[in-house]
Amino acid sequence: MSGAGFRLALKAAPPARVDMTGITPDRLAGLDAGAVARLTVFVGASAVALGDVFSLSGAPGAGLTLEGHDRLDNVGAGMAGGHLLAEGPVGALAGAGMVEGHLKILGNAGDDVGAGLAGGHIEIGGSTGARLAGALPGERRGMTGGTVRVAGDVGPQACVRLRGGLVLIAGSAGAGAAQRMIAGTMAVKGALGPEAGVGMKRGTLVLEQPPELLGVGFGDAGEHDLIFLSLLARRMPEVADLFGGSLSGRARRLVGDRLVGGQGEVLVLL
């Protein structure tokens, strides 16, 4: 990741969950070290100065580096630009509501990663909890744009109500993935858990392994040579990379959820 900037190192393990909302490179741009240290974060129910929780080094720039911890919530939430690197795990809602920028997490992440993502890129070096790329609290739509890449496994209900964008999962996905999906692409190299695609309207799932158990509203359309896959590999090379660098173009195609009049497709690569 490029862009110099500040580095935040924890002074001690957090005694409670820390809400990192507002601590993003775009919002720190133009602030000097003293102003950054005076920014407020919540530790549990208490508002404290950022400088009381973290040691600050570096200088203003387009980047921000953060020492990770699984009690740090909302890391990168609402980012509108720049580069944020978390060196280690993070908690819930990482990258929630992002509109632009690049968030890279070197460890695991908690629930609701990329909830409401509208743009930008999120990379997770480990695994995530539940509801990856889902909806923000009170919202009816999940992720609408951008890219999420996960090197490990993801928990249940990934990509529920997905409205757009690209989600790449190198590991396996838990139960209930892509339910009520409206648009976008979800690609899974590992296993896809049961009850996937229930209520799916449109969108595409690309799988390397046959799904364990789709919703009953899916019909098997047989094996096909699909020009779409070649076009997808050219337009989104990340998808081809997930499956070893190329797509043959041949896949078993399942369509659904027909119980709701859906025309979503599940493509199992051959």
**Distance in angstroms (rounded) separating the CA atoms of residues 54 and 50:** 6
Q: Which two tokens stand for residue 95?
A: 């990258």
pLDDT higher than threshold 90 for residue 90: yes
Give the pLDDT band of residue 158 (cuts 50, 70, 90): very high
CB 152 within 8 A of CB 172: no
Look up tokens 């999940």; give the residue: 142
- Is the model's pLDDT at 179 over the cut of 70? yes
Say whether pLDDT at 169 is over 60.
Answer: yes
Residue 76 banded pLDDT, cuts 50, 70, 90: very high
Backbone angles phi and psi of 99, in degrees to 5? -120, -20
Per-residue pLDDT reduced to its tens digit, 118-131? 999 999 999 999 99
Residues in the chain: 270
Domain residue extents for the chain:
5-200
Q: What pLDDT, on the 0 to 100 scale, is given for residue 3?
A: 60
pLDDT score of 214: 87
pLDDT > 70 fraction of the chain, expressed in percent and rounded: 99
